[in-house]
Amino acid sequence: MKTTASFITKITLSVLVAGSIVACNKNKSAESTAAATPPSSDKEAIVYVNSDTLLSKYEYAKDMGKRLEDKGKSAQGDLASRGQAFQREVADYQKNQATMPADQRQKTEQRLQREQQELQTYQQNASADFQNSQATENGKLYDKIADFAKSYAKEKGYKLVLTYSKANPTVLYGDPALDVTADVVQKLNEAYAKDKK
């Protein structure tokens, strides 16, 4: 889960920076007009979002983490169950092998070897399936935050929205007056609550 949080933090950072760049890349005439008009003194042109706080308070991110955690636990439980069943078969074989005829022993060993390979293949497929689910969920989170960052920057008139995270500090210091995390989290959660209905 720690790897997921780190991955999500990196995605959030990328999304917010990309969203800010997209929001700032308007057509040439808009850029020339904006260059001629300095930002108003009562509003900051650059703000930042604390991505650690965003991910811990954004309900969609929390729900996504819970879905992935549940899926991971379910897959681990299923794999453990299959592994235990295989171990019981091996233990039964080891207990009875001395009394088995050679041809039956050979057939049983071959069957157990096939089952072991099938179990390993199943484990690899389950792991790949989980990673695909994780990538899909992270992609959805990325899209939600990117779309929001673009419209948020445009709505507020920000020229650049940075992100801050202790795990990946690209901003070493930011005036707390430039921190828009609470507003971003509130609006993202409001939009997510509407989507859930």
Q: Report pLDDT for 92.
A: 93
Alpha carbon distances (Å) from 183 to 80, 89, 97, 163 = 44, 58, 69, 14
Over the stretch 103-131, which tens digit does the pLDDT of each residue have? 999 999 999 999 999 999 999 999 999 99
Is the pLDDT at 94 greater than 70? The verdict is yes
Is the pLDDT at 87 greater than 90? The verdict is yes
**pLDDT-based confidence at 172, cuts 50/70/90?**
confident
Beta-carbon contacts of residue 75 (< 8 Å; ≥ 6 apart): 126, 129, 130
Please list the residues that pair with 162 across neighbouring strands: 48
**SS3 string of the chain?**
CHHHHHHHHHHHHHHHHHHHHHHHCCCHHHHHHHHHCCCCCCCCCEEEEEHHHHHHHCHHHHHHHHHHHHHHHHHHHHHHHHHHHHHHHHHHHHHHHHHCCHHHHHHHHHHHHHHHHHHHHHHHHHHHHHHHHHHHHHHHHHHHHHHHHHHHHHHHCCCEEEEECCCCCCCCCCCHHHECHHHHHHHHHHHHHHHHC
| Cα 4–chain centre separation | 5
Is the pLDDT at 190 greater than 50? The verdict is yes
**How far apart are the two ends of the chain, measured CA to CA in Å?**
28
What is the mean pLDDT of the segment spanning 63-84? 94
Against a cut of 0.85, is the pTM above it? Answer: no
Q: How many CA atoms lie within 13 A of 97 on its CB side?
A: 13
